[in-house]
Amino acid sequence: MSKNYYLTTTSPYVNSDPHVGFALEIIQADALARYHKLMGDKVFFNTGTDEHGKKIFEKAMESGMEPQEYCDMYAAKFGDLKKALNLSYNSFWRSTEPKHIEAAQEMWRLVEKAGYIEKGIYNAKYCVGCEMEKQDSDLVDGKCPLHPNKDIEIIAEENYFFKFSKLGSKLIEHYDKYPDFVVPAHRQKEIRNFVESDLTDFSISRLTEKMPWGVPVPGDPKHCMYVWFDALTYYISSLGWPDDTDKFREFWGTTESPNAIQVCGKDNLRQQTAMWQAMLIAAGLPPTRQIHVHGFINSGGQKMSKSLGNVVNPLEYVEKYGTDALRYYLLAKVAPAEDSDFTKEKFEEVYKSDLQNGLGNLVSRVAAMAEKSDSSFEAVDHTLSTEIKVALDEYKFDVALSDVWARIKKADQFVSEKRVWELKDKERDDALTCLVREIRQIAIDLTPFMPETAEKISKQYDSGQISKNEPMFPRLS
RNA sequence: GGCAGGGUAGCUCAGUUGGUCAGUAGCACCACAUUCAUAACGUGGAGGUCAUGGGUCCGAAUCCCAUCCCUGCUACCA
């Protein structure tokens, strides 16, 4: 049954180059979007960039650029991922779009009107040594680790606060109503524990004179929205909210029947599954239906960091091994919701065993036999296997692909056991028909994960007369 | 410290409510076989006292207690 499917990634903050962690997120999302498209759903797949805030303002200043110019440059880099990773999103939405800015302001008005925004005092922590504002998490024992001899100054600033503390019970209601709201389940427990504890209101504005690069607070130009507030609204402004009410209802859903799916990293759990939901509830808008939370990618057992020099650049891998090789690795060998390790050695091992010797070799050997047989193989309609659907409905990309690879192994065993290359006439054609059918099925099942590979195989195998092609995953020289 | 989730073959992991649950698992490794295929594929083999110590039970990787180790969260980090 066809339906509307809304899917969004988080919006990466444009202060550095695209990271393999975001590649993971958007490739997972892309697999979901392609899956739903294959099922006949109407898919709205959104991604984009988050471009406001102090860090970006400072970075732009440092590099001598206008903030917008700086954002344009980075937005382009993220936009380039579409081709590099073969992404099927239809909406690339930037938080500096005028339409988004208007939407963020409308969101503010709604939340304010409902009584969930109030002025309060925000105590900014300022390190005189760094001449910078610090966050609690930056401090060690209440001191700046770079200037432990200097005291942190507290600068009281009048800000607007979001009355988060008033929304806990509404959030719990939502979690109760949808036990699978957060996937995996232990993340839902985690956020639930957090929400059940005493919630504190949080600041959602900054003084414009100190930080001009943000969305002006409606009716009070002395304040800019703190990036969070603006950035979260992007999930609905991308749908044309508040102007396009039909499209919003169609894809985002209604309060009775929420429909939106989000993916985010575990570092975003609180923002997406609690704060954003609280904002929606406060504004009287439907909450998100489900949020899939993915893990992090480590490199060599350690967090990626520039100083360790172990940062994985997804584009390097695309260039060297191809888009689908990277997509395969991230979907099949990275635990969808847990942390996983990524090293070049492991990647090459997988490339060789699974893609070269597994899928690539099977497709070649069967094509070679089919070509020699001179027979033709009528195309039959294939639809996505049930196992794949079941796995994808639970965001288990790795399980889905391991199922496909089990079938590749079976097909190889079949060829060897029957010694298909020695068979003649009907016996041979029967065996080949089986194999061709299985490979066509595999191609369909790979469509959400490795679209280009799936298409190559389909083209090669759907033409009745099958002939051998160049290797899809060539040996590494 | 508190809460949550983990510690199973060299590596990555499966193991539903305790009774072929110790895995024909994948990768790597060794041997054999084979040539249709990208020197690929297939078969066989070696590898684990299921973190440690107790306990419950006829029986525990699976439940309970203790200990050790790892990870996440413990709020204003986009």
List the A298 CA – B17 C1' distance (angstroms).
35
**Cα gap A156→A28, rounded to integer Å:** 43
**How far, in Å, are A300, A313, A394 from residue A297 at the CA level?**
10, 12, 20
pLDDT, tens digit, 9 for 90 and up, residues A102-155: 999 999 999 999 999 999 888 777 766 666 666 666 665 666 666 666 677 777
A 371-410: CB within 7 Å of strand B: 409
**Cα gap A238→A411, rounded to integer Å:** 45
pLDDT at residue A227 greater than cutoff 90: no
For residue A231, say whether its CB is under 7 Å from any atom of strand B.
Answer: yes
Return the higher-pLDDT residue of A119 and A157: A119
pLDDT at residue A239 greater than cutoff 70: yes
List the A412 CA – B72 C1' distance (angstroms).
41
What tokens appear for A147 in the block? 């200037």
List the A392 CA – B59 C1' distance (angstroms).
38
- Sequence-ordered list of residues with C-beta below 8 angstroms from that of A396, at least 6 positions apart, any chain: A336
Question: Whose C1' is closest to the CA of A356: which nucleotide?
Answer: B38
Give the pLDDT of residue A368. 94
For residue A88, say whether its CB is under 7 Å from any atom of strand B.
Answer: no
Report which of A423, A427, A410, A408 is spatially closest to residue A364, judged by C-alpha positions: A408
Which bases in strand B are touched by protein, i.e. have an atom under 7 Å from a CB? 3-5, 12-13, 26-28, 35-43, 71-78
List the A378 CA – B23 C1' distance (angstroms).
40
pLDDT at residue A305 greater than cutoff 80: no
Q: Which residue is nearest to nucleotide B14 (CA to C1')?
A: A399
For residue A57, say whether its CB is under 7 Å from any atom of strand B.
Answer: no
Give the pLDDT of residue A25. 93
For residue A11, say whether its CB is under 7 Å from any atom of strand B.
Answer: yes
Give the pLDDT of residue A146. 65
pLDDT, tens digit, 9 for 90 and up, residues A390-412: 889 989 999 899 999 999 999 99
List the A402 CA – B60 C1' distance (angstroms).
30
Return the higher-pLDDT residue of A323 and A267: A323
Give the pLDDT of residue A48. 93
List the A399 CA – B9 C1' distance (angstroms).
22
For residue A365, say whether its CB is under 7 Å from any atom of strand B.
Answer: yes
For residue A448, say whether its CB is under 7 Å from any atom of strand B.
Answer: no
For residue A472, say whether its CB is under 7 Å from any atom of strand B.
Answer: yes
CB of A370 within 8 A of CB of A377? yes
Rounded to an integer, the average pLDDT of A210-214 is 88
Q: ipTM of this predicted complex? A: 0.89
Return the higher-pLDDT residue of A146 and A296: A296
**Cα gap A125→A134, rounded to integer Å:** 5
pLDDT at residue A321 greater than cutoff 80: yes
Rounded to an integer, the average pLDDT of A98-104 is 95
Give the pLDDT of residue A152. 72
A 318-347: CB within 7 Å of strand B: 333, 335, 338-341
Give the pLDDT of residue A360. 96
Amino acid identity of residue A164, one-letter, is: F
Q: Are strands A220-225 and A216-217 parallel, antiparallel or unpaired?
A: antiparallel
Domains in chain A and their CATH numbers?
4-116+163-295 (3.40.50.620), 343-461 (1.10.730.10)
Counting residues of chain A whose pLDDT is more than 70, the rounded percentage is 95
List the A271 CA – B23 C1' distance (angstroms).
40
Q: Pick the range with the lowest mean pLDDT from A52-66, A228-242, A247-261, A342-356.
A: A52-66
**How far, in Å, are A38, A246, A262, A341 from residue A41 at the CA level?**
7, 17, 17, 34
Question: Whose C1' is closest to the CA of A355: which nucleotide?
Answer: B38
pLDDT at residue A245 greater than cutoff 80: yes
pLDDT at residue A241 greater than cutoff 90: yes
Q: What is the band of A295 on the pLDDT scale with cuts at 50, 70, 90?
A: confident
For residue A468, say whether its CB is under 7 Å from any atom of strand B.
Answer: yes
For residue A209, say whether its CB is under 7 Å from any atom of strand B.
Answer: no
For residue A19, say whether its CB is under 7 Å from any atom of strand B.
Answer: no
List the A186 CA – B62 C1' distance (angstroms).
20
**Cα gap A25→A273, rounded to integer Å:** 16
pLDDT at residue A166 greater than cutoff 60: yes
Question: Whose C1' is closest to the CA of A10: which nucleotide?
Answer: B78
Residue A118 backbone phi and psi in degrees, to 5: -145, 155
Give the pLDDT of residue A203. 87
**How far, in Å, are A121, A122, A142, A156, A462 from residue A152 at the CA level?**
17, 15, 7, 13, 69
A 177-196: CB within 7 Å of strand B: 186, 189-190, 193-194
Query: What residue has token string 């962690």?
Result: A21
A 127-156: CB within 7 Å of strand B: 135-137
Give the pLDDT of residue A78. 94
Give the pLDDT of residue A381. 80
Give the pLDDT of residue A132. 62
Q: Are strands A290-294 and A297-298 parallel, antiparallel or unpaired?
A: unpaired
Q: Which residue is nearest to nucleotide B41 (CA to C1')?
A: A412
Give the pLDDT of residue A377. 86
Q: In the predicted model, what is the mean pLDDT of chain A?
A: 89
Return the higher-pLDDT residue of A122 and A57: A57
**Cα gap A218→A102, rounded to integer Å:** 10
